[in-house]
């Protein structure tokens, strides 16, 4: 069973960048479909980006297209979320999630589709 630990959150100003990391243990993350989600106070958890096991196909929420990029380092067993041009509306707790994927071509955009979650990392963007 894979364990996920996020890091890299913080307090930044609008227009700044952050890179979130999601380090995995207990499993090989390259065999999992991975998603990044976020949840702001009083709101539902929403998908930010989701990618297939082999990153062949990636889904980005409209609100982050062109600003956020997901990537993997299979040697470090880590997934990253590069966030640029951050805006106050990006303020939320960010979670990475993983779901074992026997097929390389599937990604998941609903939180209920993921079994494994990290504890979250807070991102706060001031205006």
User: What are the E-state strand segments in the chain?
Assistant: 3-7, 10-13, 18-25, 32-39, 46-51, 58-60, 68-73, 78-83, 92-100, 116-117, 121-126
Q: What is the pLDDT of residue 61?
A: 97
Residues 83-118 have pLDDT tens digits of 999 999 999 999 999 999 877 788 999 999 999 999
The pLDDT averaged over each successive group of 10 residues in the chain (127 residues) is: 96 98 95 96 96 87 97 95 98 97 86 97 97
Q: What is the pLDDT of residue 50?
A: 96
């Amino acid at each position: 069973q894979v364990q996920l630990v996020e890091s890299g959150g913080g307090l930044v100003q609008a227009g700044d960048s952050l890179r979130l990391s999601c380090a995995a243990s207990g499993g090989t993350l390259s065999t999992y479909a991975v998603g990044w989600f976020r949840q702001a106070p009083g709101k539902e958890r929403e998908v930010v980006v989701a990618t297939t096991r082999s990153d062949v196909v990636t889904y980005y929420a409209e609100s982050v297209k062109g600003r956020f990029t997901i990537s993997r380092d299979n040697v470090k067993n880590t997934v990253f979320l590069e966030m640029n041009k951050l805006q106050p509306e990006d303020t939320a707790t960010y979670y990475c999630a993983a779901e074992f994927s026997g097929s390389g071509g599937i990604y998941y955009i609903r939180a209920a589709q993921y079994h494994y979650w990290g504890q979250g990392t807070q991102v706060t963007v001031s205006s």
